[in-house]
Chain A
């Protein structure tokens, strides 16, 4: 463009100048076309990228609607989010690999993550000694609700809860001195604290989560696993 301008100025008036002007216009048009083409391609790329991102979100939301898809990181950066009903839900995917090594869970008692291949029997089983977290998590995967208590829980509450667990298949109960509150209830990805054995939230938690729709492996057994 610079040279066309220059030549138009240099050659003064007449057909040479007109020719140069025409030539300059053509170049300008070619350059405009080139710019438009680049712009079109650029915009297309952006739109396609947008669609791909959108579609990925769509596909993920379709295939992961139960929040149990195996991810590679079991100790991720998740946290509990408390719902209006007081039930805490772990906010990231919990992994489901069977492992033999010790797993350090980011919550106590654990509500999910990698676990031992043997489940703790959870057919209304009451354990009086602490059980291995890695076996208990496998029971949660099978749809069990796990009742745990620490040394601050009263004997009355412990006895009442034990009686309830004993008549409820797909539940188990054990002491856990590392937990924060006296009585806690856990299911896969779910947890809450209750104030006593007669707290109405006990029945609510049982009815919602014993073989509830949080269960990663519906139909799996609570028998023939590990017992104390």
Chain B
């Protein structure tokens, strides 16, 4: 009876020790050697750079369509943050001497190829269509604010899902850390936007 218990305890200890070793060893110089073009590290850098670009664009549009200070500040925050993060992602691809595009469908690196149909500019989950962006550019005041909050909430939801894919699969410590930061920050922004939608008598689309 004792032996199996000892075996079970040993297995548990081994797994825990492995996890601790992994956590301690993680994230040091893992970004110094180039990952493969089809790796999660390269795929996330490519796809999130595209995903972020639309959030930047959308935020610039709404800043031209409303005088509301709170919305304009949120849009400023999102566009600054995502433009900079996009620069980090593209910079890593440059350092790794990897292409910015792939013939594989977006998110193939996280086994989610074909998640979005790519029609009308919505290349990845959460992305707005060109039609929606055009509409945002024509609305003004509260109507523009509500559509922006709705589109950005969906954009964040898709972005968080993709960032979680990198947290799970990426091997470059600094990239994984950035992805986890995106998850935390965008989750917090989704709840902030839910409150802002409520104040405007609206709610998220999904």
Contacts and interface: CB of A to CB of B under 8 A. Distances in A.
Contacts, number: 125
Contact of B27 (A65, A215, A218, A223): A65
Which secondary structure dominates where chain B touches chain A?
helix
Interface stretch (B114-122, B125-133, B141-149, B168-176): B168-176
Nearest to B69: A118
B60 to A, nearest CB: 14
Q: Size band of the A side of the interface?
A: 35 or more
B181 A68 contact: yes
A47 B11 contact: yes
Contacts of B19: 54, 57-58, 61
Contact of A57 (B16, B173, B176, B185): B16
A47 B7 contact: yes
Given A65-B176, A213-B174, A221 B77 contact: yes
A64 B180 contact: yes
Contacts of B26: 61-62, 65
Given A62-B22, A68-B181, 20 more contacts: A39-B1, A50-B12, A50-B15, A51-B12, A53-B12, A54-B11, A55-B15, A57-B15, A57-B16, A66-B180, A69-B180, A70-B187, A98-B192, A117-B73, A117-B74, A213-B174, A218-B84, A220-B80, A221-B77, A221-B80
Interface of B: 1, 4-5, 7-9, 11-12, 14-16, 18-20, 22-23, 26-27, 70, 73-74, 76-77, 80-85, 87-88, 167-168, 173-174, 176-178, 180-181, 184-185, 187-189, 191-192
